[in-house]
Amino acid sequence: MSEREFEHYLTLLGSMLRLRPEQRAEIAEELQQHLDERLQDLQAAGLSREDAIQQALAEFGDAAGLAAQFSSVSRRRYRRWMMRAATASVTSAFMVLVLFVSFWPTGGRIELALPTTAQDTNPPASESPVASVDPFTTEADLPTTKTKSTSTSREAKNADTRIQLETTAAFEMQEASLSDLSSMLAERLQHGCLLDHRRMEEEGVDRESGNLNWNLTNASLGTMLETLLDEMQLTYQIRDGILVITSQSAADDDLSLVIYDAEVLFSSVVVVVRNESNPVEEMLLQLVQQSSDLGKIELDSLQASIDRLSEKFGSQQARMRFNQVADLIETQVDPNSWEVNGGVASISSVGNRLIVRQTERTHRKIRKLLDDLAATNGL
């Protein structure tokens, strides 16, 4: 009989503690000290070493009960993270929503989106001074957003979550574990948050692990997540609107297809003609309707603008720009992941759309790149 019994006990206890390794070690050391001193005292009082060990351990009670008590203390601690949404986050959420809605398909065969800057809170289209600035030639006010999504309900949910991740808020988090982060997100995201336990465990990451600290007040939820998760070789994916935290290696095996309507990059006005039947007339009609408030549109000048526009979209130049964007993405965003460089991801284009098969993490980077390009009038 030896003090190995203590070690066994403490190891057993440690294995049941749902805490971070440092905390387990600290508790183990504290209890070890106690057991050692108790052992000395009991022996000094005349007990045999064996009896003393047994008694010292008995006084602690069963390891499982003790572990449960420690863990419950610790859970309370982690819940103390605080999050205060800054006033700005409400505003920016609204902005993003406005921008997003403005690019939502309108149901007709013709989609028209007018210049919208980040400062412009007016809903675009109907109220914008269309005719007075002649949008077809104005390139100064490129839209700051956004690649448009198709409007399936799943995609709409995903978009909800993405928008919520873009909100800027002041967060404070101290020594939070992954499950704390997850419950914080679950409260904050409309469609919820899950931890992909199985994939995380394959990577040796436990839900109670993590020592997540955050106190930047100007970052978006998405930035915070990327940063915190990256430290632990984790990342997130969005499935049916649900934010799923998983391991990077699992996510890397999971390619998803995203169609980017990249034409927002090329013009301050986006006109997608989906049906060849009389597009000019329909455009004309729509423009007249939209500018009727102004009352002084000359049909000739409209016709001329539309001609110029059609020419532009028909031109070889537009094609070249798409290729440029594809090249740019392949060289600037995770270069080694692309087929051309020996990876598995691929990029191709159909009409004015880029079809990209990539991991979600890389998709996020692509989105950011396209947004940045649009915002800086880069093309």
Closest of 245, 254, 253 to residue 197, by C-alpha: 245
Beta-bridge partners for 256 = 358
Asked if 60 interacts with another protein (CB under 8 A), we say yes
Residue located via tokens 């100007």: 218
> In the bound complex, what is the minimum distance in angstroms from residue 56's beta carbon to another protein?
8
Stretch that binds another protein, among 21-29, 87-95, 159-167, 351-359 (CB under 8 A): 21-29
Asked if 176 interacts with another protein (CB under 8 A), we say no
Among 48, 51, 61, 233, indicate the residue that binds another protein (CB under 8 A).
61
Decide whether 30 or 253 has the Cβ nearer to another protein: 30
User: How many angstroms separate the CA atoms of 142 and 239, rounded?
Assistant: 31
Decide whether 31 or 245 has the Cβ nearer to another protein: 31
User: How many angstroms separate the CA atoms of 363 and 360, rounded?
Assistant: 5
Amino acid at site 374: A
Decide whether 77 or 357 has the Cβ nearer to another protein: 77
Q: 114 to 153, contacts with another protein by CB under 8 A?
A: none
Q: Is 254:360 a contact under the CB 8 Å cutoff?
A: yes
> In the bound complex, what is the minimum distance in angstroms from residue 13's beta carbon to another protein?
10
Q: Is 284:303 a contact under the CB 8 Å cutoff?
A: yes
Query: Taking CB under 8 A as the rule, which mask of x and - marks residues 71-100 in contact with another protein?
Result: -xxx-xx-----------------------
Decide whether 65 or 378 has the Cβ nearer to another protein: 65
Decide whether 59 or 339 has the Cβ nearer to another protein: 59
Stretch that binds another protein, among 25-33, 109-117, 213-221, 324-332 (CB under 8 A): 25-33
Decide whether 63 or 356 has the Cβ nearer to another protein: 63
Give 285's Cβ-side CA count (13 Å radius).
9
Complete DSSP assignment for 278-310: SHHHHHHHHHHHHTTTT----HHHHHHHHHHHH
Decide whether 74 or 116 has the Cβ nearer to another protein: 74
Residues 6+ apart with CB under 8 A from 219: 168, 171, 227
Give 56's Cβ-side CA count (13 Å radius).
28
Indicate if the alpha-carbon torsion angle 334, 339, 345, 347 is positive or negative. Answer: positive
Q: 29 to 58, contacts with another protein by CB under 8 A?
A: 29-31, 33-34, 37-38
Asked if 20 interacts with another protein (CB under 8 A), we say no
User: How many angstroms separate the CA atoms of 265 and 89, rounded?
Assistant: 26
Decide whether 80 or 368 has the Cβ nearer to another protein: 80
User: How many angstroms separate the CA atoms of 87 and 245, rounded?
Assistant: 27
User: How many angstroms separate the CA atoms of 59 and 61, rounded?
Assistant: 5
Stretch that binds another protein, among 68-76, 89-97, 155-163, 172-180 (CB under 8 A): 68-76
Asked if 65 interacts with another protein (CB under 8 A), we say yes
> In the bound complex, what is the minimum distance in angstroms from residue 20's beta carbon to another protein?
14
Asked if 70 interacts with another protein (CB under 8 A), we say yes
Asked if 27 interacts with another protein (CB under 8 A), we say yes
Residues at the site binding another protein, with contacts judged by CB under 8 A: 26-27, 29-31, 33-34, 37-38, 59-61, 65-66, 69-70, 72-74, 76-77
